[in-house]
Chains A and B, each alone.
Chain A
């Protein structure tokens, strides 16, 4: 198949060049992989050299992270320190130099670790056409989406309120059997918890019953029990080469318990 590659100076121009059979190029770790095997459903690749895609800035409420920011950049930037453990969990060093935040939002399970963290943090997805979408809405409509992501905005969590665990078969690098991101505001009595699971459905998903069960709870064995009992509700894990859906269901509450109690996962 003959491939066309188009480069635009601004994201807006790139966005208006999108149509069927076209993929936008982030870091290319998935797009170029598709091209290498020739089985892809696109023959046109659109990219943008817009410098704003690589911006990270803090404003009053939180952080603005351009869609073209890489995992390595997240690890090297002081203002994104709370996301560094998540970025470090994506692939190996070369992948992290390439993989972008925008691309991670479109990664299919078992990938999408960074997006899982953004879901737990109530991030907002800024589209190139100016629309802002709550990340949960973005994920719900991702399959049919052709719009380009310009950036995400992430409220900064209170120190220590954000936790992340990635469960893999190999270390230090491997794809998720599952990953869990937890935002646990409130200190001794949790209020407004967010629990997001990656690789437990086609997109990262929130465990909303478990979130509600943590309201007013303390992070001790008794306080978290109801959250553990309900955390699988609404999740939809799949079988893949790494693990069966059955296995993922069996171990998810165990890893959630360890994460909530601050034990090693």
Chain B
């Protein structure tokens, strides 16, 4: 199978891989770049478990042709923590029972991050809209929405400090 060289910045690090031609970005991140945080759920855009940021914008890695990632900045949930210190979203998910099996969490948290990057003080409705492309089969969503609102409040507090 022909391989295509692709370079991108993954979570701040210059990364180069050889991808199968026609592979999606999720496969390349997991198999070639070794970042196992984005998950494969449905491989058709319906579940959001593979959500990552491309140049700061939320995208579905499973529907992104790997070749189109050339030269772009890709951030997965692995970009959020600094050493052992969790990001407020990760902390709020862990403490607020917003993660049960955890499979949706990496995508859910990136969808939440995309919202908070532009809307630091969202309404409950805006949070529900922001995660509307992400399925969770454990929590019933309420703890997730609460966790995102908690993290938003903490991030606003930091900004003020």
Task: Please give the residue numbers on chain A whose beta carbons come within 8 Å of chain B beta carbons, in ascending order.
Answer: 2-5, 7, 25, 27-29, 31-33, 35-37, 45, 47, 72, 91-95, 97-98, 172-173
B45's partner among A25, A29, A47 (CB-CB below 8 A) is A29
In whole angstroms, how far apart are the Cα atoms of A167 and B57 in the complex?
28
Lowest 10 CB-CB distances: which A-B pairs, in order? A92-B133, A3-B22, A173-B132, A36-B43, A94-B58, A32-B63, A92-B132, A172-B132, A94-B60, A33-B44
Report the Cα distance A256→B44, complex, angstroms: 32
Interface size on B, residues (CB 8 A): 31
What would 15 more interface pairs be, CB under 8 Å, given A7-B67, A172-B129?
A2-B21, A4-B2, A25-B65, A28-B68, A32-B63, A33-B43, A36-B24, A36-B43, A47-B67, A93-B115, A93-B133, A94-B45, A95-B133, A97-B58, A172-B128
For B51, list chain A residues within 8 Å (CB): 94
List chain A residues, Cβ under 8 A from B4: 5
Give B contacts to A, CB under 8 Å.
1-2, 4, 20-22, 24, 43-45, 48, 51, 57-60, 62-65, 67-68, 111, 114-115, 128-130, 132-134
- Chain A residue nearest to B57 in the complex (CB): A97
Q: How far is the CA of A173 from the CA of B141 in the complex (A)?
A: 15
* B63: A residues at CB distance < 8 A: 27-29, 32-33, 36, 98
Residue of A nearest to B62 (CB): A36
Q: Please give me the residue from chain A that is nearest to B44 by CB atom.
A: A33
Which residues of the other chain, A, contact B62 by a CB distance below 8 angstroms? Answer: 32, 36
Please tell me which one of the listed residues B44, B57, B133, B134 contacts residue A72 in the complex, with CB atoms under 8 A apart: B57
Alpha-carbon gap, A2 to B67, bound state (A): 15
B45–A33 contact, CB under 8 A?
yes
Residues of A within 8 A of B48 (CB): 92, 94
Which chain A residues lie closer than 8 Å to B64 at the CB level? 28, 32, 98
From known contacts A2-B1, A173-B133, infer whether A94 and B111 are also in contact, taking CB-CB under 8 Å. yes
